[in-house]
Chains A and B, each alone.
Chain A
Amino acid sequence: MLPCVVVPRAWPALRTPCAHACRLGWVIVMAATLAGLAPSAGAHGVSPRLASAVAGIFHPDALALSALLLLGVVGLYARADGAPACLAAAFAVGGGPLVAPLAGACVIVVLHDRVMRPGHGTGGLLGMAMLAVMDPMTLGGTQLACVLPVAVLMASWPLLHLSWRPGGGRRHLSALRMADIAGFVVGCHLWLRMLADYPDIPVLSERWGDGLVAIAAGLFLAAAVRALVARDVRRVLCGLFGGMAALPVLLAGLGLVARGNDLPEMLDGAVACLFLVMAAGTLTWGALLALAGAMEVEAGRLVLMHLGGMAALMPRLSALLSVALLAIGGVPPLIGFSLSWMVLRLFNALPHADSLAREIPVAAVLIVMGTGWGLRLLALGRLVGVVLCGRPRTPRGAGAADPPVGILVRCALGVAAACAISVMPGAWFRLAGVALGHVTRQGQEGAPARMSLFALPSPDGVAVMLPVRSFMLLAGIGVVVWMLWRLRGVAAARQVATWEQGAPSAPPWMPFGDPLAQVGAGVFVRLVLDMVGWPEGAQAPWKRLLRLRRLAARRMALPPGWLSDDAAARSAPMLLLAVAGVAVALLCWLS
């Protein structure tokens, strides 16, 4: 199946047959992975040679199984669009030591197939190659501890859409697709694997933990800025997704700090939160992307300048979209809030040495994360205010209506799954309990066995959070408010055509009103810049520097006649396979 993913990259003519093969292969891989379980489950009939051969290719432990479960959900939800990525991702989480990084490289290639500039994701491929080379060799504990986080960070960089760029244009951000969720699962899995395999060296582990937390906070802020300035719904979603995808890095950093300081409860909390991020991210983003896809079919290209008034035109889809957006925005009973609660609790559980100097970095990270959260909220408000509220801006958008029931049900199922995991986070921990114990190295007697179905695990053991209680409180008060609304004793409100408030009426050639009279997507960005007192033109020197760099790079590059545009990107996977082959040959020769 691997060639099916790699080959179309080099020879685009073979794309169609390979896509069919991939769709068939998706089923085969799931079956084969489950079959790969048989030797590890202790089947006696299998000969040991066969078992070891199978285990070389498929190596599904408990950790891989929980990720495979989520990948199965994504694969079912994504249909043909994400099939190759899901296929490669299934190999990447369930594969043996050499197969997994190779398949991870394939996921990167698939994700960046239609990407804006060639060469993007090369660092990720290098990271995967490092992982592939590192695993079979028995590195010493210290060497592994030094290199492992770098390799995982490099490998998961393109998978999780991590980036330092604050721009929102096509050059900086790719439109989010269903396949990216498969990449997200693989990225989370890599970080979990890193936590599980990291050797016990307290000093190094604490240093790496601090560094990863700082990096993740910066990435979170950059992603929030990207979401705020993007001009297209899918790119806004990509920025928001980047914010959520910075959380695995943050949590892995916190887990390393906990391991360095020998705090088993905090480690439990960090790993549980990482598991919850993986599941919640998969479900919520699956639902959001299904909704965005349905909206794209109905209302045309999802450019913010063209959309508007969707709440009136497609009320059901808009209601579902608002629930999903609230879930990632962090409004209390929903899953985004549960995640932020756990992260805040983890920050509280950090070792306080009762000294002020140690708290200043923590406070700085909290301020950066808080700023990022605020900008994320504003990006969500901008999305709601421009797309759902207001009037339609184009005839194409004004013709939109709710999608057919089948698609609506599919979207509703996704939102319902996100709500279900919000109310019952414990159910997921029951499912993934063994894997959790594997990462924290405490076996099954660890925290997950004690967890209730409705409670969030807290890292300090004192705080308790039951999202279902907030849910019931809101529901109870909502019922009272609804009764008040029913009993208010006035006739139903009259709807009137929009009044103009002194503005001149719309001319006949502009039936949707002047598009500039409505609040557009740019207003929010301008307002933020004004309010924080960003001086006009302060970014100009940076822009000039970047332009200089680009110019220099163009001068240093080979003449365009020598290489086609995407030659490097085309040859990279082939080169990777060749390198891996050489590495395998070397290993065989050495052993």
Chain B
Amino acid sequence: MNHLLELVTKPDNIPIVGLLLLVIFYSWLAWTKARKNDSQQLPDEARLDDKVQVWPYLVRVEFLAMLVVLLILVVWSVFINAPLEEPANPALTPNPSKAPWYFLGLQELLVYFDPWIAGVVLPSIIIVGLMIIPYVDINEKGNGYYTFKERKFSILTFCFGFLILWVSLIVLGTFMRGPGWNFFLPWQDWDTHKVVVLNNVDLSEYFGMPSHFPDNSLNIAASAFGFLVIAAFYLSLGGWHYMKYKNSDVVKKLGLGRYALVLGLFLTMMFVVLKILLRLAPPIFGGYPVKYIWVTPWFNV
């Protein structure tokens, strides 16, 4: 328990505790407002649409918010010192070495993906994916008020990405990843000597095809198999969805290009989840964790 207290009160971890509490609070707030709006004819925001003068009705709120924020920041800064560790030493690697907290979700993905995916491709997809949201969400409802009923898919997808894949992984990376990036429960002491069996296998081995021959040359059949698995993932789920919904209004209105884009991005998010599950789930059933799905001479997925 002392370890937990130490983790939670470590100066650099306080923002993450704050983030967690704020995210929970604001999710609850938004949910409450959405539920209330969904249960009535007009959203609350539409009832309050008469005009008020900015001076003083808006400016005073801004001024109070400014005072409160500055007060919190000054009190925080008076009582808690920003950390300053030993001088930089390129020859002495701390264990664990952690990226700044807001990148810990991506660092966690390094467990399941090679750096080119976790560190470069996925962040780029996240940024581009966020940017195109307004152009692919063609639902005209829910503009300017809290609602859930009118835009279930978009809200569920965004919340899954933000709350589960972004915030939770940050919390996991901060409080549950210790030396060697090994998993520890928050109250478990960080044992530097914890040994974890590394018995990951490539997916093709489950089907009797090792991805490399004993002389370490690549098994083309296993590589082709890996490619087919990934192609099948996208094509079967995507194809199934298209066959089922191709005549729906949403798909027609989106057009094939935008529809394929949304579907591809959504399936990629699911693929990340799938890869995590392939690593974490098999040991529960006595199997080997999956390292790669697709092995090639140039990159592995």
- A and B part of one assembly: no
